[in-house]
Structure 1
Amino acid sequence: MSDKVEEIVREDAQRIKVIAQDAVRSGAYLYPIKGLFYYLSHRSLWKPFLSKLTPTLTTGVGVTAFMFLVTYIPQAAILAIFNGPLAALSTILLVLSESSTISNLISRTFFLEDALVDTFDGTLLSRNMTGIVSEGRQLNSSGDPISKLGKAFKKPFERFTPKAILRYFMYMPLNFIPVVGTVLFILLQGKKFGPNAHARYFQLKGMKAREREQFVEQRRGAYTGFGVAAVLFELIPVAGIFFAFTNTVGAALWAADLEQRNTTAPGLREQAKKAE
């Protein structure tokens, strides 16, 4: 039995190593950072966020303050048994993660769905991806990228589901393991976050469920790298909602680069054939 357990652990460790190597090689973990700087330098993309600023800010502050006041001490006491002197840091990260999840749950459900879709589509328009955006909504002929956005045909950003919330709380006990457990917790959250960030892209491309699964699996490391970086940004208390928008911009920039590579590669192949 011990040999079997050791084999499983070895296989899982190897799988994680391969994913981590793919993530580093892909450079996708940089897109949340690119999204932040791109967002800050393109004021027109701020409109959806500013229109929701008051309710999202109030939600973030209120939830974070409540969680630290009510849950920090009991959770720190439990983690102290497992983590010793590292319990204070582990508990802070845990409470921030919980606060971020709850804030996102409330905000995305009641305030942000349309605003995030507009931000994603507006970013694509700013990168001259008019063709793909027109597959998902009506477009106006003039104005800045956000002003050009007309009525959306569908709303692909998924709300938090009971299954997703259950999975989150199932993973929470990993934080009882010093340092490594917290890292694994963030890694698992990032693995799920990455593909979800491209939900709008998959819809605009008209991908079926099976096509999406294959597309993501071929880029598992890249999506995990993007997801981990994005999750770390959104763990920041209060500002996590702001980073939800910059992460959306980063996801759109990545989608635009994927589209450019897809359109450029066939052209290069055609030129190579002619040269032969």
Structure 2
Amino acid sequence: MSSNANNQPLPKQLEERAKEFGTHAFQAVSSFSWLWPFRGVLFAITNPSLIGSVRPALIKSLILSSIIFLALLIFTYLPQMTILVLLTGPLAPLFALILIGAESLLILTFLAKPLFLEPALTQVFDAALVARGQRELVIQGKKRIGGGGSSSKGKDVGKALVRPLQGFTPSGIAKYALSLPLNFIPAVGTAFFILYNGTELEGPGWHSRYFQLKGLSKQQRQSFIESHRPEYTAFGAATLLLNLVPFVGLLFSFTNTIGAALWAADVEAKENLIGSEGESAKNR
């Protein structure tokens, strides 16, 4: 099939890719999974103790986010807006802010994620699962993690944390950095940037803790992710969009985590779908 596609004329290949992208984007939007991050915001407001339990990390996130965004705003906003004016016209000031948000997110990944963000987000994820009636899943998952270090499955998932920007491995960083110029494409560039990175770098990383608690193997996790790729694209795009909000973008990592936990609790409540899919994969 791929050889036939390669033999097709370039315009035909581009047309087919555009159709695939359109279908995937439609499935992502119609899945309504992009609502989960916003439900996370609402749940955090109505359950303030969830965020209050990680207040030090929250404050550090706010301070670090503000400092980096302000520095980029002072030194890079005008040059980038000048270029964008030539390409996008009157929307240049808005697109320049989005671009600075994307750049600050890249810098924050190096500074905040390994220092204090991931453990705090994992704590929030577990607390949100418990608040949604999944206490047993958390308890049994922690027992499995604590006692499963010698098994191959335990080694595979034993170090998993909630990881926004999961794809920011060295290759992921390169992909993200190379996708930044998409923002310079008139009219549709920023939308392509958000959808691309929502698909490639974001979505599934928010459920790494859930997969860990379930004790799923790498193959089982990948099978579930592939069968729900449009939903993860929608979720990832929405979380990235919130993370790009000036000054407070990193704070949305906490509410995005809550949204991911609410989604996981919903999956778990629907007859343990992930477990069923994992068992099916085993029995094939």
**TM-score relative to the length of structure 1:** 0.83
Aligned to 2:262: 253
**Identity over aligned pairs, percent:** 38
Instruction: Provide the rounded CA distance (Å) in 1 between the counterparts of 2:23 and 2:260.
Output: 23
Note if contact 2:33-2:231 (Cα within 8 Å) is conserved in structure 1.
Answer: yes
Aligned to 1:97: 102
Residue 189 of structure 2 is aligned with which of 181, 185, 200? 181
Aligned to 1:161: 169
Instruction: Provide the rounded CA distance (Å) in 1 between the counterparts of 2:237 and 2:172.
Output: 17
Aligned to 1:53: 58
Instruction: Provide the rounded CA distance (Å) in 1 between the counterparts of 2:140 and 2:249.
Output: 30
Residue 233 of structure 1 is aligned with which of 235, 242, 247? 242
Note if contact 1:35-1:248 (Cα within 8 Å) is conserved in structure 2.
Answer: yes
What is the CA deviation profile of residues 43-91 of structure 1, one whole-angstrom value per residue up to 9, with x for unaligned ones? 2202343121332221011000000111112222333343344333321
Instruction: Provide the rounded CA distance (Å) in 2 between the counterparts of 1:167 and 1:265.
Output: 29
Aligned to 2:229: 220
> RMSD over aligned Cα, in angstroms?
2.4
Aligned to 2:198: 190
Offset at residue 137 of structure 1 (A) = 2.4
Amino acid corresponding to residue 127 of structure 1 in structure 2: R
Instruction: Provide the rounded CA distance (Å) in 1 between the counterparts of 2:131 and 2:257.
Output: 14
Instruction: Provide the rounded CA distance (Å) in 1 between the counterparts of 2:59 and 2:273.
Output: 43
What is the CA deviation profile of residues 69-121 of structure 1, one whole-angstrom value per residue up to 9, with x for unaligned ones? 11112222333343344333321211122123322442212121111000001
Instruction: Provide the rounded CA distance (Å) in 2 between the counterparts of 1:154 and 1:43.
Output: 28
Offset at residue 8 of structure 1 (A) = 1.9
Aligned to 1:243: 252
Count residues in correspondence: 252
Question: Structure 1: any 5+ residue segments left out of the alignment?
Answer: 139-152, 267-276
Aligned to 1:62: 67
Instruction: Provide the rounded CA distance (Å) in 2 between the counterparts of 1:10 and 1:262.
Output: 40
Secondary structure of the 1:40 match is helix
Residues 86/187 of structure 1: CA separation in 2 closer, same or farther (3 Å cut): same
Question: Structure 2: any 5+ residue segments left out of the alignment?
Answer: 1-5, 144-157, 276-284
Instruction: Provide the rounded CA distance (Å) in 1 between the counterparts of 2:162 and 2:256.
Output: 13
Aligned to 2:154: none
Residue 126 of structure 2 is aligned with which of 121, 125, 129? 121
Residues 48/238 of structure 1: CA separation in 2 closer, same or farther (3 Å cut): farther
Amino acid corresponding to residue 180 of structure 1 in structure 2: V
What is the CA deviation profile of residues 195-242 of structure 1, one whole-angstrom value per residue up to 9, with x for unaligned ones? 111111111122222222221111111111111111111111221122
**TM-score relative to the length of structure 2:** 0.81
Residues 79/25 of structure 1: CA separation in 2 closer, same or farther (3 Å cut): closer
- After the TM superposition, list the runs of 4 or more consecutive aligned residues in structure 1 that deviate by more than 3 angstroms: 157-160, 263-266
Residue 36 of structure 2 is aligned with which of 14, 21, 31? 31
Aligned to 1:207: 216
Secondary structure of the 2:9 match is helix
